Amino acid sequence: MATMVLPREEKLSQDEIVLGTKAVIQGLETLRGEHRALLAPLVAHEASEAEPGSQERCVLLRRSLEAIELGLGEAQVILALSSHLGAVESEKQKLRAQVRRLVQENQWLREELAGTQQKLQRSEQAVAQLEEEKQHLLFMSQIRKLDDAASPPEDKGDVPKDSLDDLFPSEEEQNPAPSPGGGDVAAQHGGYEIPARLRTLHNLVIQYASQGRYEVAVPLCKQALEDLEKTSGHDHPDVATMLNILALVYRDQNKYKEAAHLLNDALAIREKTLGKDHPAVAATLNNLAVLYGKRGPGQVSSRRGQAAEQPGPAVPEPGQSRGGGILLPAGAGDLCHTPGS
């Protein structure tokens, strides 16, 4: 069988291979027809006396036909393989297009997810802010109700054990009532009176603390303290009272360091506004002594130790109407406890 000789070696494309294969198939089919035409007479006269060499020609023609059939079969396989490769390539292009589309959709979904997460975060922040505002409004509403229900100062009844009267002893039973005036004037006469609003706030904070709702009690105390500092200034007896209330909440949470810091601040304010010999100063020092005792024997400050050694005004027991401070409403055992006792 004649072979096709290329003028130079070059890489053929798939289309060129297919076209060449089809041309070879046509040539092989023509050649097969010619061989069959030559072989037919020889086969017809095979039984009769044949010419010399006719059998050899028959054998050669049959071998050529077999080779032609083999070539045609291989050419058909090449065409089928080419068709299959074309289908595979088409499917691959389709899949690539789908991958590109999915990548674009994935990027779009990522952007949508990021935007949705930002919206969710803003919504959660708004919900938290609204919840805090709601709690604050509920607290203000309760304060208003308690203020409206509070009796006038001249009709005061029995004060509860945890009342703000226990913040420090007042001298209104011992001295005449001071003339109306600001906090500084009352401090000069030693007759500072706790405002009714702070008493109401103290009772409400005690209620929240007893329920374990410190996340509400602490912000309310801080907000009230901030308002007092804005209206009356930092060095005011009301601010010291508010510091004592906040120290109570921290004490109940076992935050003794923060409570001690607040009590020291309250002590400085009371010494400055009420004088070092005021019973409230002694009560605050006593509260600090007990608080340092809870923290440990190595935590007692020299200032408290010096004040304990010096004679000062007597500090009433917690069972009396005027107690030893807001930090110790539980009983005399805690009040009298000092480090090393």
pLDDT per residue over 146-182, tens digit each?
777 765 544 444 444 444 444 444 444 434 343 333 3
Q: Is the pLDDT of residue 329 over 90?
A: no
Residues 181-228 pLDDT 10s: 334 434 433 456 677 888 888 888 888 888 888 888 888 888 888 888
Q: Are 260 and 292 in contact (CB under 8 A)?
A: yes
| Residue 284 contacts residue 168 (beta carbons within 8 Å) | yes
Q: Give the count of alpha carbons within 13 A of 48, CB side only.
A: 6
Please tell me the distance from the alpha carbon of residue 279 to that of residue 329, in angstroms, as a whole number: 17
User: What pLDDT is attached to residue 161?
Assistant: 42
Work out the percent of the chain whose per-residue pLDDT is above 90: 16
Distance of CA 236 to the CA centre of its chain: 40
Q: For 77-93, how does the pLDDT look when each residue is reduced to its tens digit (9 = 90+)? A: 989 998 898 899 999 99
Q: Where are the alpha helices (DSSP H) in 150-195?
A: 183-188
Question: What is the helix, strand, coil percentage profile of the chain, to 5?
Answer: 70, 0, 30
Q: What is the pTM of this model?
A: 0.39
Q: What mean pLDDT is reported for the chain?
A: 73
- CA 157 from centre of chain: 50
Task: Report the candidate in 206, 205, 180 with the shortest Cα–Cα distance to residue 191.
Answer: 180
Is 60 exceeded by the pLDDT of residue 330? no
- Residue 261 and residue 243 in contact, taking contact as beta carbons nearer than 8 Å: no
What whole-number distance in Å separates Cα of residue 309 and Cα of residue 324?
18
Predicted confidence band at 8 (pLDDT cuts at 50, 70, 90)?
Answer: low
What pLDDT does residue 119 have?
94
Per-residue pLDDT, 186: 41
Q: Token pair for residue 300?
A: 């007692």
Q: Which two tokens stand for residue 116?
A: 């949705």
pLDDT, tens only, 88-138: 999 999 999 999 999 999 999 999 999 999 999 999 999 999 998 898 888
